[in-house]
């Protein structure tokens, strides 16, 4: 995702809110308080992968739901690529930086408002990720994650836009160097990643809706 775009949005984020369910915690250790805060799971930090990333604010267990992801209902809001071509260059780049694409169009942010992006929109790609998608489409830890580790997922498990291409800079030993919107169709990739894909992409490629 584009570094300058990320930083512009990050400047507008005065408070980093946590995502995902967690136990309520009090504001003062050992003292009873009126207001209970949700357990903070994730936070922004500078990333060696690109610009800004999302990091574990505490140890996270394998199988723990980390953030809301992409649900089947989200595909009903697809914006067609034909409309994308009518947007100004800045908006088009923002869409390419943040939105998950399909052959028919892209999934826009809630209310078409990039000013209100949740922290989960800032997960960076890695070819050796620690997040995947569960059966609902939510981001889930696929390994135990230590506090301070960057949270990443494989964009090949979510994006099915045939035109999508990412020159990968994750730096892991499993780096594919190029990530595309057709990776999910590759038999080898499916064999090793299908359990981490968005539910829609887990279906056989020939049976996957064009949307």
For the stretch 151-181, what's the b/e string if a residue is b when 16 or more beta carbons lie within 10 angstroms of its beta carbon? bbbbbbbbbbbeebebebebeeeeeeeebbb
The structural domain count of the chain equals 1
Q: Which carries the bigger pLDDT value, residue 210 or residue 19?
A: 210
Q: Residue 18 pLDDT > 90, yes or no? A: no
Mean pLDDT for the stretch of residues 173-199: 97
Per-residue model confidence (pLDDT) at position 207: 60
Per-residue model confidence (pLDDT) at position 10: 45
Q: CA–CA separation, 186 vs 176, rounded Å?
A: 13
How many CA atoms lie less than 13 Å away from 35 in the CB half-sphere? 2
**CATH number, domain at 92?**
2.170.270.10
Backbone angles phi, psi at 25, to 5 degrees: -130, 150
Q: Which carries the bigger pLDDT value, residue 13 or residue 185?
A: 185
Q: Residue 26 pLDDT > 80, yes or no? A: no
Contacts of 185 (CB under 8 A, 6+ apart): 205
The boundaries of the domain holding residue 30 are: 3-207
Per-residue model confidence (pLDDT) at position 28: 57
């Amino acid at each position: 995702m584009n570094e300058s775009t990320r930083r512009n949005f990050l400047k507008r984020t005065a408070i980093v809110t946590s995502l995902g369910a967690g136990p309520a915690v009090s504001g003062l250790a050992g003292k009873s308080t009126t207001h209970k805060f949700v357990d903070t799971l994730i936070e922004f930090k500078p990333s060696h992968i690109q610009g800004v990333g999302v990091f574990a604010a505490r140890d996270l267990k394998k199988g723990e739901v980390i953030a809301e992801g992409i649900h089947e209902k989200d595909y009903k809001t697809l914006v067609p690529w034909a409309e994308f071509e009518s947007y100004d260059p800045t908006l088009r780049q923002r869409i390419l930086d943040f939105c998950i694409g399909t052959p028919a169009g892209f999934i826009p942010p809630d209310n078409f408002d990039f000013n209100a992006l949740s922290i989960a929109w800032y997960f960076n790609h890695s070819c050796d990720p620690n997040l995947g998608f569960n059966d609902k489409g939510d981001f889930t830890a696929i390994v135990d994650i230590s506090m301070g580790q960057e949270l990443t997922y494989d964009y090949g498990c979510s994006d099915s836009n045939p035109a999508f291409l990412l020159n990968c800079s994750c730096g892991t030993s499993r780096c594919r160097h190029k990530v595309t919107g057709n990776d999910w169709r590759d038999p080898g990739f499916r064999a090793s990643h299908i359990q981490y894909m968005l539910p829609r992409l887990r279906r056989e490629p020939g049976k996957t809706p064009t949307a």
